[in-house]
Amino acid sequence: MKQPVVIYVISDAIGETAQHTIRAVTAQFDFDEQPDIRRHAFIRDEAALLETLEEAKVADGIVVQTLVSSKLARYAKSYCEQEKIANIDLLTHLTKAIEGKTGLHSKEDPGNMRRLDSAYFDRIAAIEFAVKYDDCKDPRGLLEADIVLVGVSRTSKTPLSSYLANQNFKVANVPLVPEIPLPEELFKIPANRIIGLTTTPEKLGRIRRVRLRSMGLDEMSNYSSDRRILEELEFGYETFKKLKCRVIHVEDKAIEETAALVQEMIEEK
């Protein structure tokens, strides 16, 4: 049976505009299996955008973007053209048409459509928290987090943190590297607030090689070697046992699906 169509919604706001459009279009087809729609919201810089585009490339997906920032929109267009990824930009052509007709210029403010209510500010605070405490930049944030994600490099910690932040969760994440000691703060928080993320060696190897290639580096370096990957994954399992935390295998899951599992586990406490 054919794999479902994978559609990546990329937005520097919530991504509702694209989602509504996609639903209107996909409703016209008799799919054997419904499309896998993966929404990546609040993409505000090139690093986050590149990570999502790389994921779309690996998944052989279709990109539907509603990026208000012309700089990010051009970046996405250029990457998709270079990598031969189908890319639909829902905003740029209409924005340019209105600018040409009126002589006005777009504010390029992705949050301008949203009402500035308390829920909005709570969400922004959660997003800022996720950015501040990404990759354990400051381990003190672990003590304040609603959710702490731990896992080796390229197990979707950062995009998952961003997605959960959009659900108003304060999320911190910790990269697991055998040579780097675990922060002591990690052992001071309840195990039910910690979620381990892991994957298969094969999937991790593919993702790391794509990452290295996109950076112009040798994709056969130690970072993507079978030996190193197995060593890191084993270290991950040992860490999960020490922390007595629950674990999610992310290799066959969209970000939305993993996020739903995380929320379910956290609410079980």
- Does 157 carry a binding-site annotation? yes
- 158 carries a ligand binding annotation: yes
Task: Tell me: is residue 115 an annotated ligand-binding position.
Answer: no
**Cα–Cα dist 72/100, whole Å:** 21
Beta-sheet strand order (sheet of 62-66): 36-40, 6-11, 62-66, 87-89
Residue 82: Cβ within 10 Å count = 8
The DSSP letter of residue 138 is: S
Alpha-carbon gap, residue 16 to 144, rounded angstroms? 30
Question: Is 154 annotated among the ligand-binding residues?
Answer: yes
Is 141 annotated in a binding site? The answer is: no
According to the annotation, is 69 in a ligand binding site?
A: no
Q: Is 153 annotated as a binding residue?
A: yes
Tokens of 28: 């016209």
- Check: CB of residue 3 under 8 Å from CB of residue 9: no
Residue positions forming the annotated binding site: 151-158
Residue positions forming the annotated binding site for ADP: 151-158
